[in-house]
Amino acid sequence: DIQLTQSPSFLSASVGDRVTITCRASRGISSYLAWYQQKPGKAPKLLIYAASTLQYGVPSRFSGSGSGTEFTLTISSLQPEDLATYYCQQLNSYPITFGQGTRLEIK
Amino acid sequence: QVQLVQSGAEVKKPGASVKVSCKASGYTFINYYMHWVRQAPGQGLEWMGWINPNSGGANYVQKFQDRVTMTTDTSINTAYMELSRLRSDDTAVYYCARDDTALEDWGQGTLVTVSS
């Protein structure tokens, strides 16, 4: 199985900050990576697919990059509504796996 | 717009089975795989498998292989996930999710509590 390791696991940042979350895969997954945002008590929401393609309707402050084994999710200017846990997911091979999550707190 | 509406919360005893439904609307049901993902309390997301509503074919995670059955009823655009021989560590929120570019649309989740 492909393991995904996110760092950091917890992040505290201020409104307006640039925030970066990293996801490392245990072996190459090309660009078959997605990022999800999950707010407390809600279902996950797709933010980015194919490593860098912004899902329709997602604010442009979110961006993704990377390929192979290292990927990043960047929020260019943190907003209060970005309080959430963020997960990466690989769709390169079965079983599909998720990272352990990064909990983002707003200072 | 796409909607996935899941059945309500369940409380089951260890050893019992649970069947969660996911009614789809707003798109052509048979054209998109349906995935099931679960989340134990305070934990991360765990993929369980998918079903192809067009063919009925399914792909399950090995750890659930002998306990999970995913089915669909295309006449009412509904997917089902049945998990048998429930244990306390199956207590979780179970989500259905439509597969397009990734898991693009999600149900609201169904809490399954396993307790004696």
Structure confidence at residue B100 (pLDDT): 87
Instruction: Tell me, yes or no, if A6 comes closer than 8 A to chain B by beta carbon.
Output: no
Alpha carbon of residue A94 to chain centroid: 20
- Which residue of A43, A53, A99 is in closest CB contact with B109? A43
pLDDT at B56: 95
Could you give the CA distance from residue B104 to residue B67 in angstroms, rounded to a whole number? 26
| CA neighbor of A5 nearest in space, from A51, A91, A71 | A71
Cross-chain residue pair A34–B102, CB shorter than 8 Å: yes
Sequence-ordered strand ranges (E) for chain A: 4-7, 10-13, 19-25, 33-38, 45-49, 53-54, 62-67, 70-75, 84-90, 97-98, 102-106
Q: How far is CA B81 from CA B21, B30, B50, in A?
A: 7, 16, 10
Which CA distances in Å does B14 have to B28, B75, B87, B111? 37, 32, 5, 15
Instruction: Find the mean pLDDT for residues A19-35.
Output: 98
Band of residue B113 on the pLDDT scale cut at 50, 70, 90: very high
Longest dimension (CA), chain B: 41
Cβ-based contacts of A89 with chain B (< 8 Å): 45, 47, 102-103
φ/ψ region of A57 (left if φ > 0, alpha if ψ in -120 to 50, else beta) reads left
Judge whether A53 is closer than 8 Å to chain B, CB to CB.
yes
Predicted local distance difference test score (pLDDT) of residue B101: 85
Q: What per-residue confidence (pLDDT) applies to B11? A: 98
* Residues of chain A positioned with their CB less than 8 A from the CB of B47: 89, 95-98
Phi and psi, residue B25, nearest 5°: -150, 160
